[in-house]
Structure 1
Amino acid sequence: MSNSSKTLLLAEPQASYHPHSSRNGLIEVLVDCPGVQGLLTYRVPTELSVQPGDILTVPLNTQVIGAIAIRYVSSPPAGLDPSKIREVEDVITSGFFPAYYWQLLNRVAQYYCTDLITVIRMALPPGLLEKSQRRLRLKTEALPKGAEAFCSLSAQQVLSLLNSQKEGDYSARYLQSQIRGANRGIRELIKRGWIESYLEPPKPIRAKLQKVVTLLVQTFPMELTKSQREALEILRHQGGEIWLSELKKTYNISVSTVNSLQKKGCVVIEERERLRLLQEPETGKDQAKPLTPAQADALKVISNLRGFSQVLLHGVTGSGKTEVYLQAIAPLLAQKKSVLVLVPEIGLTPQLTDRFRARFGDRVYVYHSALSDGERYDTWRQMLTGTSQVVIGTRSAIFAPLPNLGLIVLDEEHDSSFKQISPIPTYHARTVATWRAALENCPLILGSATPSLESWVNVRQDACYLSLPERIHSRPLPPVEIVDMRQELQGGNRSIFSHSLQEALENLLQQQKQGILFVSRRGHSTFVSCRSCGYVMECPHCDVSLSYHYTHEGATELLRCHYCNHTQVHPPTCPECSSPYLKFFGSGTQKVTQELTRQFPELRWIRFDSDTTRQKGAHRELLSQFARGEADVLVGTQMLTKGLDLAQVTLVGVVAADGLLFHSDYRASERAFQTLTQVAGRAGRGEDPGRVIIQTYSPDHPVIQSVRSHNYTQFIDRELPQRESLSYPPYGRLILLRITGMDGVEVQQTAELLADACGDRLGNECEILGPAPASIMRVARRYRWHILLKFPSDGEYMIGDLTELRSLCPQSVSLTIDVDPLSID
């Protein structure tokens, strides 16, 4: 790239947004050019009408490339000679994204202290513009006879060249290379409606073309073979069309049979684009269920909402929040509106998707990061069609470009998975959902059995609070039994299972029921230590111990870091003193399953954690196996606590609750209460009563006592005053500065420099805590220091002052500005 081109780069998240062109016609665009960072500034010709969100072609060096119009600016960037600003070539597609979309992305960029270009690339599906190219094709049906006589010379040449190609389709770059002044001719022909301009999909994820077979006749000829007649009957039964691949695979009809039918004029075979959407198994049809009085009251309030409003739907586990969502969504789809439903984990989508598809059929789509690039690209494109639909997804789906949005739902709104930690921007989907609902003037429902304290304080005061205090069919919440593991040890029980939990597991087989065992960590053991010298096996790249992993009898014994994924073979002797006495401490999911096999060989179990769900579709497959009764016990980590609705589960056991209670973080108690309450709620959701057993060495802990009585109010009445006294959220605002680098001394010095700069820039606006080393100082060979900024909840802070901090960091030191962090340890 030339020096003059480099001066065009710009990234200023503070720039204001203008929905219409500025007087001098300067617009910033995101270009389709690998390696180009930031936004480029171009001038809009007077004959072109360009709006933010349009797909453009712009000159860059010696080529013309695709671009997205982002925003108008009132003046060129500092130091840029206005005479060096080049003009936009053309508009390929108008209104590719609605105007509100760029307002939303601008707000995300400003609030989360991130340059706009980074936000845009994060929001769009992979490869939406990369390596794409502008193409032009004839509209033969609109082209009059002798059209060349009505055109300018350049337009005649374009028409002649397109007519010479069989498909009437060429890239704009090729036409420009062959015809002088091609752009003038192209604009003229597009205005006349004789050719059309489009952006060819990126090469790595091109549109997928497949052959489709279409029935042409209603009466079948007599001279048909058995297989030919069978093929035509299948086509008639399928509504006259079917994919050729499906005809072969599902019905065993050969290609030669179909080709013969085409020769007879019975069918036609043609290529057509087939969207790569997530393929889900067929579900049965479902009807709206009778509602409890509380559900009916909640639905009535939600149905009467007009315009933007926030609703906190606080329902105990099993109270039927999903049914309220479904019945609130149905009339919106009838009004040709779309709905966005966000869930915290990919593992939740199969069960929820099945329920929605049983109710709404093929109008339900799934969008999350575990889809292939092609699936994400095609799902995104079908959203732009404007059809009425429901999109279910994780936090990234908040940027899905659904038109005519009628409702946004955040299920399990309290869950920390809605917060992005890495990469930047560190946005929270709940915050962005609030902004989007306001921009699109639609309601936002926040649903949870254990609402976040922010939602409880902010939304409950300023918005609509709806309560579902009882389970459907008046089923009772399961009794919670607290087992003091200190007494178990005193009684001689060295097992990881208390006597009470052992008895309950033995009864599962007799009663032909199922159980869930919750473990706070995956792996086998938390750490490995030498009993002779006390040496602990640690990660060479992080300041943490290595976890022991042992999947099955005869498998390689591994030590793995859960922070950087470093893996090494477990040594036979201590590296420090050569002692063979290495002991495993703590219990992970692998150890629990091993103990289950040893103590209860008749019990069948499935392990459900991030180790066993890495493969695509693994969440659905494991849960389906459990739902079909192919296992008696489901052993897993946090993902077990979210949204599972399995009627046969009568037992929930928490193996070691203490792993949740004692963290150096102001949210530790809130997270522990939410997790334990949610996992307890998985029991007793069917006809049979449930039972919950929580094992702990701290039975008198206030969180444990609140969980025992399913008492959310008791918990918040104790927790909120503590937060308020320390000005922590929801009574204060936090921004965490994370400083990382390979050189520990350099990172520390940079952190001290930034802390001083914060003091100079922010003055008395906030309290500055730090700098201090992170609780785990080194991860993946990078040293980590933190600075915590505490603002009063009603205070304003200058985003510009914070983004300027990045310029103070050496190139080898990285600064992440985490606005509203969920963890500060």
Structure 2
Amino acid sequence: MYASVIVDIPSKSVNQVFDYRVPEGMLDILKVGHRVLVPFGRRTIQGYVMKLSEMTDFDLERIKEIARTLDIEPVLTEEMVIIAKHLADYYIDQYISVIETILPAALKANYKKVLRLAEGHGATAKRLLESHQQGGEVETRRLPAPVLEELAPHLASGEIKEETVITQHTKKKTALAVYSLRHPEVELSRAKKQQELLDVIESSSEPIFIRDLAAEGFSNHLVNELVRKGYVEKVERQMERDPYADRVFTLDPPKVLNEEQQHAYDRIAEMMDAGEPRTFLLHGITGSGKTEVYLQVIQKVMDEGRNAIMLVPEIALTPQMVNRFKSRFGDDVAVLHSGLSHGEKYDEWRKIKEGRARVSVGARSSVFAPFENIGAIIVDEEHETTYKQGDRPMYHATEVAKFRSRYHNCPLILGTATPSLETYARSERGVYERLELTQRAGTKVLPEIHVVDMAEEHRGGNTSIISQTLKEAIDQRIERGEQTVLLLNRRGYSNFQICQNCGYVPICPNCDISLTYHKSNSSLLCHYCGYESAVRRICENCQSDDVTFRGTGTEKVEEILRDMFDTEIVRMDNDTTRRKGMHEKLLDRFEEEEIPILLGTQMIAKGLDYPKVTLVGVLNADTMLNLPDFRANEKTYQLLTQVSGRAGRHALSGEVIFQTYNPSHYAIQLAKGNDYRQFYEKEMAFRRLARYSPFYFHVLFTVSSEDISKCLKATSHIHDALVDAVSDKSIIVGPSPSPLERINRQYRFQIMLKYKREPALLEVLGGLDEYYHEAYRTEGVSLRIDVDPQVIM
């Protein structure tokens, strides 16, 4: 038998399967999806079995044998092997990159070279090697040059050999436990505490962790005494890293569905019973009870012995969603998102893989949860661009969800109050089935929305970022003991520093963008490459001391709010949530301590559900309108609608205030009226005229290099290749500088291809990717091909 293996080398030159002979001893155990060690050139590396067959087209004498398997059960299911091939081909990437994205980072191989004694070694070689051991081994890269010179003769003679050791990135976690050796005649009447401990240990059918015994008041000394007397024995026992181990979840029984919710549930259940992979758009206004529909669909899935995947767009949404799901389904829920450590994610992934979890909740990458019997897949807030991976492989989680839905013949539910235009257009054509929820659950009504013209405010003498209307509304909430959510989609203290004498603005030396002032650590920071410098009070250009800061970020607004209202503020942005677990801690503090104001960037705009939040203020509704992106109006409408939905979700009525310099803009006015249908029709007219999605598909080519002339040459070459390859019906826009022309010292130019049908396109994209893979190695010119881009910055 022969195994086709993808090797763990992220290089275009080896982006193919290699055939290996399966040893006799592996014939009955080796399966598709197994991790294996294989000889490759002069080294041994990790690989993944993609196919097994009785025949091979390669020269039998040159085919090598698999060294060994790394797992008892395959880490990849046959479905994931198919998905890896599909994603690598469609998104123009390497198979191994996609496989490593599908699997938890813990399974990534670590390679190191060590020196070991060979058979027939002499005493001198043994003494030398042992004198340089650290932790029981001699790692080649840690040896200084003189030591390597000393060992060289013994390497040349073959007394010492170099081997590649492959280990997993993260191992299963273990801890000391004890179990009883079962001596029924034992009686420790003179040592009552020891007898009590022994009774506890004997009552357990499996070893008990010593840390758990300590929590019950039994000291290590007591345990050691029982070990010394031979009544119990210590053993290493595997334990799971459970990020929710210390949390208590109150049981949440199913709610009674209203008529619209029940209709949506019934249609989804009907397709589940029919085994049809139908895609549903669950279009429900904010607060309409979409989550309860999700929960009851998943309950039906579990009752039928199947599993479910629930995707949310951001970590900030995960805590509340986890609470809802854990309260409903308990330990059947596994959580997968980037806020967990490698070890925690690995253990949650193993819970799914081993069948100990029935439901996964998490962000984009959890679409690859290794379930083998899926009954439903749900994508909440389906319009969010975070479902598209920004780095290679640039897959879209919803596209993977569609693939898995077809593979398992199960429904896919795309839930949102503000569908992407592409999704809504498909529901109009009947490709997706649309289910509408037009009323808020229970007796709750949508909040009242007001638009404040900030130009009028300034003409009236108010130069603050807080309008008089918003200030009065916040004062009222503080007096009534209610809470306010304020959105400003710009972090930092000030946008930039400027010299008022000569106009000089400090720019990032690596990127074509001004540095943002962060007052908390008195630094100027680039939000693109991370460059940081200390604030200088003297102008670098003219040496004037007349320097000031302009623009307003969340850090500065927090300061303004504290002075204006003399109250506590919770600020949520990338600066305050950088450390693990801070999303949840800040939100818990906001709710439990009833902090009057939550201020944040767009991470607070969706998914949050607090009974005392009755006011939402958008401090600058124009932020996204000014982006050089054809989706700018759509993103503005979605953000405003989503954040408006945070107000008045429970018994108290809500109010929303949009502050803007463009009060008549249709995206703002239609968000005020919560009129998605009219927005859709108006925006689609523009898209049709400009020939953008959903009327055309897109591919974005971004070329980058430290040498601008190489960028120009490469984009000209790509443009010519596309002109020769695509039909006249397709549109090629560019080459042109990217909206952010230089990032991290790399100049960036781009080309946009718009097309409807190009059968030979994937072949052309593959050829360009291969060509510039080599060009990057030789000339430092890189090409990024983004199929179906969500952002064109």
TM bracket (short chain)? 0.7 to 0.9
Query: Pick from 217, 222, 234: which aligns with 1:257?
Result: 222
1:107 Cα deviation after fit: 0.8
Structure 1, unmatched stretches of 5+, are: 1-20, 134-199
Q: Which residue of 1 aligns with 2:298?
A: 329
Residue 375 in structure 1 maps to residue 338 in structure 2: no
Partner secondary structure for residue 647 of structure 2: coil
Q: Which amino acid aligns with 2:310?
A: V
Aligned-residue offset at 1:269: 4.3
Give the secondary-structure state (helix, strand or coil) at the position aligned to 2:308: strand
Q: Is the 8 A contact 1:31 1:40 kept in 2?
A: no
Which residue number corresponds to residue 763 of structure 2? 800
Does structure 2 retain, via aligned residues, the 8 Å contact 1:737–1:787? yes
Aligned partners of 1:317, 1:233: CA distance in 2, in Å?
55
**Alignment correspondent of 1:172:** none
- Contact 1:56–1:69 under 8 Å retained in 2: yes
Give the direction of change, closer, same or farther, for the CA distance of 1:789–1:66 in structure 2 (3 Å limit). closer
Q: Give distance in 2, aligned partners of 1:218 and 1:622.
A: 53
Equivalent runs, 1:581-600 vs 2, <5 Å:
581-600=546-565
Aligned length: 726
Contact 1:651 1:691 in 2 (8 A): yes
Q: Structure 1 counterpart of 2:536, which letter?
A: P
Tell me if the contact between 2:333 and 2:357 (Cα under 8 Å) persists in the aligned partners.
Answer: no
Is 1:354 aligned with 2:323?
A: yes
Which is worse superposed, 461-470 or 691-700?
461-470
2:635 is the alignment partner of 1:671 = yes
SS at match of 2:105: coil
Q: Residue 823 of structure 1 aligns with which residue? A: 791
Q: 2:106, 2:343 within 8 Å by CA — same for their partners in 1? A: no
Matched residues in 2 for 1:572 and 1:796: separation?
Answer: 59
Q: Distance in 1 between matches of 2:288 and 2:73?
A: 46
**Alpha-carbon separation, structure 2, partners of 1:592 and 1:236:** 61
Equivalent residues in 2 for 1:599-638 (5 A)?
599-601=564-566, 603-638=567-602
What's the offset of the Cα at 1:572?
A: 0.6
2:66 maps to 88
Aligned to 1:299: 265
SS at match of 2:442: helix
- Over 3 Å counting, the alpha-carbon distance change for 1:737 and 1:258 in structure 2 is same
Mapped to 2, the partners of 1:293 and 1:586 lie a distance apart of 48
Partner of 2:126: none
- Aligned counterparts, 1:572-587, within 5 A: 572-587=537-552
Do the aligned residues in 2 keep the contact of 1:482 with 1:695 (CA within 8 Å)?
yes
Q: What's the counterpart of residue 502 of structure 2? A: 533
Residue of structure 2 equivalent to 1:9:
none
Amino acid at match of 1:289: K
Distance 1:236 1:717 in 2: 71
Alpha-carbon contact 2:477-2:483 (below 8 Å) kept: yes
SS at match of 1:682: coil
Aligned residues of 2:100 and 2:108 also touching (Cα < 8 A)? no
**Counterpart for residue 123 of structure 1:** 102
TM-superposed deviation, 1:100? 1.5
> How far apart, CA to CA, are the structure 1 residues paired with 2:270 and 2:231?
53
Indicate whether 1:68 and 2:34 are aligned. no
Q: State the 1:403 CA deviation.
A: 2.1
Where does 1:40-59 land on structure 2 (aligned, <5 Å)? 41-45=18-22, 48=27, 51-59=31-39
Distance in 2 (alpha carbons) for counterparts of 1:28 and 1:486? 64
What displacement does 1:235 show? 6.6
Q: How does 1:195-344 map to 2 (within 5 A)?
A: 202=167, 204-214=169-179, 223=189, 225=191, 227-228=193-194, 231=197, 242-248=208-214, 250-261=215-226, 269-280=234-245, 281-306=247-272, 307=275, 308-344=277-313
3-state secondary structure, aligned to 1:684: coil
Q: Which stretch shifts more, 95-104 or 655-664?
A: 95-104
Residue 223 of structure 1: CA displacement? Answer: 1.8
**1:129–1:201 contact (8 Å) kept in structure 2:** no
CA deviation map 1:223-266 (0-9, x unaligned):
26554466468779999764221221x33320222344567787
2:406 is matched with 438
Task: Report the residue type matching 1:476 in the other structure.
Answer: V
From 530, 544, 557, the equivalent of 2:522 is 557
* Structure 2 residue identity aligned to 1:58: V
Give the 3 Å change call, closer, same or farther, for CA 85–762 of structure 1 in structure 2. Answer: farther
In 2, the alpha carbon distance for the partners of 1:382 and 1:731 equals: 43
Closer/same/farther in 2, CA of residues 473 and 101 from structure 1, 3 Å limit: same
Identity of aligned residues (%): 37
- C-alpha distance in 2, partners of 1:274/1:453? 46
Q: Which deviations, in whole Å up to 9, do the C-alpha atoms of 1:577-596 show, x marking residues without a partner?
A: 23333232222101110101
Contact 1:28 1:73 in 2 (8 A): no
Residue 428 of structure 1 is matched in structure 2 by: 396
Preserved CA contact (<8 Å) 1:604 1:630: no
Contact 2:488 2:553 (8 Å CA) reproduced: yes
Give the 3-state SS of the residue equivalent to 1:304 in structure 2: helix
Contact 1:213–1:267 (8 Å) recurs in 2: yes
Structure 2: runs of 5+ lacking an equivalent: 113-164
- State the Cα distance separating 1:66 from its structure 2 match: 4.5
| Bigger mean CA offset, 263-272 vs 763-772 | 263-272
Q: Say if 1:56 and 1:93, in contact at 8 Å, map to a contact too.
A: no
Question: Is the 1:453–1:730 contact (alpha carbons within 8 Å) kept by the matching residues of 2?
Answer: yes
Q: Which residue of 1 aligns with 2:132?
A: none
**SS class of match (1:623):** helix
Alignment partner, residue 745 of structure 2: 781
In the other structure, the counterpart of 1:409 is 378
Structure 1 residues 549 and 74, CA, compared in 2 at 3 Å: closer, same or farther?
Answer: farther
How big is the alpha-carbon RMSD for the aligned residues of Structure 1 and Structure 2? 2.9
Distance 2:63 2:729 in 1: 40
**1:302-341 alpha-carbon deviations (Å, 9 max, x no partner):** 2222331111111111111111111111132233322111
CA offsets 1:734-767 (integer angstroms, 9 cap, x no match): 0000101111111111111111111112243521
Match of 1:456 in 2: 424
Partner SS state of residue 538, structure 1: coil
Does the 8 A contact of 1:66 with 1:132 survive in 2? no
Bigger Cα displacement from structure 2, 236-245 vs 541-550: 236-245
Is the 2:6–2:15 Cα contact (8 Å) retained in structure 1?
no
Shift of 1:535: 2.0
- Corresponding residue SS for 1:504: helix
- Does structure 1 conserve the Cα–Cα contact (< 8 Å) formed by 2:619 and 2:659? yes
Asked if the contact 1:32/1:130 (under 8 Å) is kept, the reply is: no
Q: Is the contact made by 2:92 and 2:769 (CA closer than 8 Å) also made in structure 1?
A: no
* Residue of structure 2 in register with 1:12 after alignment: none
Match of 1:571 among 502, 520, 536: 536
CA contact (8 A) 1:27 1:69 kept: yes
1:563/1:57 CA distance change after superposition, 3 Å: closer
Determine the C-alpha separation between the residues in 2 that align with 1:467 and 1:265: 68
Distance 1:55 1:545, change over 3 A: closer
Does 2:77 align with 1:98? Answer: yes
Find the aligned partners of 1:711 and 1:123 in 2 and give their Cα distance: 39
Cα-to-partner distance string for 1:14-69 (whole Å, 9 max, x where unaligned): xxxxxxx8xxx462333599999544512445963654313334334566655320
Instruction: Say if 2:494 is the partner of 1:516.
Output: no
Query: Match for residue 545 of structure 1?
Result: 514
Does 1:29 pair with 2:6? yes
Structure 1 residue 801 displacement after superposition = 0.8
Taking the aligned partners of 1:377 and 1:543, their CA distance within structure 2 comes to 39
Report the CA distance between 1:699 and its aligned residue.
0.5
TM-aligned CA deviation for residue 82 of structure 1: 6.1
Pairwise CA distance, 1:693: 0.8
In 2: Cα distance, 1:220 partner to 1:592 partner: 70
Instruction: Using structure 2 for the length normalisation, give the TM-score.
Output: 0.86
| 1:494 corresponding residue in structure 2 | 463
1:813 matched to 2:778? The reply is: no
Q: Is the 8 A contact 1:339 1:407 kept in 2?
A: yes
Task: Quote the Cα distance in structure 2 between the aligned partners of 1:559 and 1:410.
Answer: 38
Cα distance, 1:284 vs structure 2 = 1.5
Partner of 1:656: 620
